[in-house]
Amino acid sequence: MRIVECEVAVIGGGITGAGTLRDCALRGLKAVLIEKNDLASGTTGRNHGLLHSGARYAVQDPESAVECIAENRILKKIAHHCIENTGGLFVTLPDDDPGFHALLLQGCRAAGIECDEISADHARRLEPHLNPDIVAALKVPDGTIDPFRLTSANVLDAVEHGAKVMTHTEVTGLIVDRERIAGFNCLDKRTGEPFELRARVVVNASGVWGQKVCAWAGIDLPMFPSKGSMVIIDYRVNNVVINRCRPPADGDIIVPGDTVSLIGTTSKKIPYDEIEDLVVDDDEIEVLLADGEKLIPNVSRTRVLRAYCGVRPLVAVSGKTFGRDISRGIVLVDHLERDGAEGLVTIAGGKLMTYRLMAEMTADLVCRKLGRKAACSTRSTPLPGSGKKAPLKKTARRFSGIPQSVVGSTHYRHGERAHRFLSRDPKSYGLICECEMVTAGEVTYAVRHLMAKDLIDLRRRTRLGMGPCQGELCAYRAAGLFTELGPAKGDEATRMLIDFLEERFKGLKPVLWGDALRELEFTYWIYQGLFGLTELDRPSESDEAD
Ligand SMILES: Cc1cc2nc3c(=O)[nH]c(=O)nc-3n(C[C@H](O)[C@H](O)[C@H](O)COP(=O)(O)OP(=O)(O)OC[C@H]3O[C@@H](n4cnc5c(N)ncnc54)[C@H](O)[C@@H]3O)c2cc1C
């Protein structure tokens, strides 16, 4: 059996694993990351993308609030191509306890979060679609962050610093060698090849799956699977993050993100064996839309695009029975100290927002275990895409002749790296996805450099298929490009197309009424009526004879 060797092996290609891989690679450690699906396919790709100021935690979880504001300031510098500095408001509605406003203000001040009391009129000037009945408002430095772009940029930088990443490869068990965790067994899900990855330190960054990884080593680290659901609406109804000024509850936040807005979130404890098979419940959609409408009345007149959910990777705390009561604090476990198991470290809890800090703490521990002295540099080293970029005006001049909307969105998504694939060759700027302005050049770059191995991965790298048509008019073009670029032959591209549409359908199914239903019917006409997609996927008679 093939054996791969390294110093640090990371399980999990969510933001925690990606950040840890990058930190280790920048310190000169030989590091490898294994992800069973795609990068950011776990909880990292299933959240609001809120760049917390920390205000949301300032009353109940001050430690997390302090971590959030510190990382908020760092990420705005090192990851600015993944961030929109929208600002945020906490607004009080007539039904809300007016006392919470003062508590929040006090909590923010104690945590060092800039928090200004502004009049209701001022709040409505900042966000004209806000409910006109609001009675009070606080302004905080919330923003939005694209979790897919952030994860991919961390991995790209790690790889450019010598790390290795294997996606669609599952860790199937730990290798124990004389009481030491010496690595793990892997299965390449695409080729079916099993292999061993041997490492001096194994980092378990597998989020809510961390409990399962620990159990392989006979270690009990119970997670508290708290499911949160969100709905996406078809327009960007707000430009500022809108939070309801009350203790965290369902439906109390609306986050703008690229071309859409998200209403979040619910909190439901689910049995651990349901984490693979998440479903958004009808009652969750009802409460999110009803409460979202209270913040921004336009929500009721806007088409719902899709619904999705994720599970918070919270480590269970005895006595706590509700997810919102558990701290979002970081849990770093050296299993040698806790359980006598040398070679295994678990990093869990925290937030997307605090991933860099979590990675720094983990890499510090890894270095101590390896006896290596290497300082963390991620506080100040920009991610690829967040380096020095030419102002948009200059880029636009350089690419004059190419539609400005294309130049603008490419520049926005990839920062200075856009120059690696945008060119005057009409093939490079030809549009594949009109909703999100994704070009053939960007698809090619994602396949060749960002490990997009199928259309679902491509969606996470580029936003292809995330806009109003949900892939209806771009998926077949992208599948065609995949065959042209080489990673998929004709039949494989057909299968990819089916998988992509089925994956999109999961998020559409809970919101199928009105315009969403009409749009889906149109998608069905194209893919089944016109292309006969499911017929194409069946083996031909001659194949069957073989
Ligand atoms: C509803 C909701 C809303 C949220 N909103 C926000 C927000 O707005 N802002 C914010 O900062 N945070 C938010 N969070 C929290 C944030 O999303 C998570 O803290 C963060 O994404 C966790 O990242 P992770 O890498 O630790 O876990 P994950 O992203 O789950 O990554 C773990 C990875 O491990 C992989 N894996 C598991 N088992 C194996 C195996 N055997 N072999 C190989 N790979 C394996 C999984 O496939 C997965 O990709 C939210 C969470 C939820 C649920």
Contacting residues for 33 by C-beta, under 8 A, at least 6 apart: 9, 10, 12, 13, 17, 18, 21, 155, 158, 163, 164, 165, 166
Does the CB atom of residue 19 touch ligand 1 within 6 A?
no
pLDDT tier at 77 (50, 70, 90 boundaries)? very high
Q: What is the pLDDT of residue 316?
A: 81
- Same domain assignment for residues 152 and 236: no
pLDDT confidence of residue 545: 44
The residue to mutate among 33, 44, 174, 327, having the most atoms of ligand 1 within 8 angstroms of its beta carbon, is 44
Do 346 and 484 sit in the same domain of this protein?
A: no
Output the CA 294–ligand 1 centroid distance in Å. Answer: 29
Domain that holds residue 347: 2-43+148-222+328-370
In a domain, 462, yes or no: yes
Å from CA of 210 to ligand 1 middle: 11
Check pocket membership of 17 for ligand 1, CB cut-off 6 A: yes
- Within a domain: 434: yes
Residue 421 lies in a domain: no
Separation between Cα atoms, residue 187 and residue 235, nearest integer Å: 41
Total count of domains within the chain: 3
Atom of ligand 1 nearest to the CA of 49: 8
- Residue 268 maps to a domain: yes
Q: 15: Cβ below 6 Å to ligand 1?
A: yes
Query: Residue 174: which CATH number?
Result: 3.50.50.60
Q: Mark which of 271, 287, 313 sits at the end of a domain.
A: 313
C-alpha to C-alpha distance for 414 and 433, rounded to whole angstroms = 16
pLDDT tens per residue across span 385-405 = 999 867 778 888 888 889 999
Residues 133 and 247 in one domain: yes
pLDDT at 399: 87
Check pLDDT > 90 for residue 178: no
Indicate whether 348 and 209 sit together in one domain: yes
Mean pLDDT of 29-45: 98
Q: How far is the CA of 504 from the centre of ligand 1 (A)?
A: 20
Q: Is the CB of 44 under 6 A from ligand 1?
A: yes
211 & 264 share domain = no
DSSP 400: T
Q: Is the CB of 313 under 6 A from ligand 1?
A: yes
Single pTM value for the model: 0.96
The DSSP bridge pattern shows strands 253-257 and 241-244 to be antiparallel
Residues 6+ apart with CB under 8 A from 88: 53, 55, 139, 140, 141, 142, 143, 240, 241, 242, 243
Alpha carbon of 208 to ligand 1 centroid (Å): 7
Q: Does a structural domain hold residue 196?
A: yes
Q: Which of 165, 178, 196 has its CA nearest to residue 10?
A: 165
* Ligand 1 atom closest to Cα of residue 265: 1
Please compute, for residue 428, the number of CA atoms within 13 A of its CA located in the half-sphere on the CB side: 14
What is the 391 CA–ligand 1 centroid distance (Å)?
33
What percent of the chain lies above the pLDDT cut of 90? Answer: 85
| pLDDT band at residue 544 using 50, 70 and 90 as cut-offs | very low
**Beta carbons within 8 Å of 528's beta carbon, 6+ residues apart:** 534
93 part of a folded domain? yes
Tell how far the Cα of 252 is from the centroid of ligand 1, in angstroms: 21
Q: What is the mean pLDDT of the chain?
A: 93
Is the pLDDT confidence value at 502 over 80?
yes
Based on the domain organization, do 526 and 452 belong to the same domain?
yes
Least confident of 25-29, 207-211, 411-415: 411-415
Query: Based on the domain organization, do 131 and 232 belong to the same domain?
Result: yes
Using the CB atoms, write b or e for 32-67: b if 16+ within 10 Å.
Answer: bbbbbbbbbbbbbbbbbbbbbbbbbbbbbbbebbbb
Supply the residue whose CA is at minimum distance from atom 3 of ligand 1. Answer: 47
| Co-location of 9 and 23 in the same domain | yes
Give CA–CA dist 99/138, Å, rounded: 13
483 and 528 part of one domain = yes
- Report pLDDT digits (tens) over 215-249: 999 999 999 999 999 999 998 999 999 999 999 89
21 CB within 6 A, ligand 1: no
Q: 329 vs 212, which has greater pLDDT? A: 212
- Asked if residue 385 is part of any domain, the answer here is no
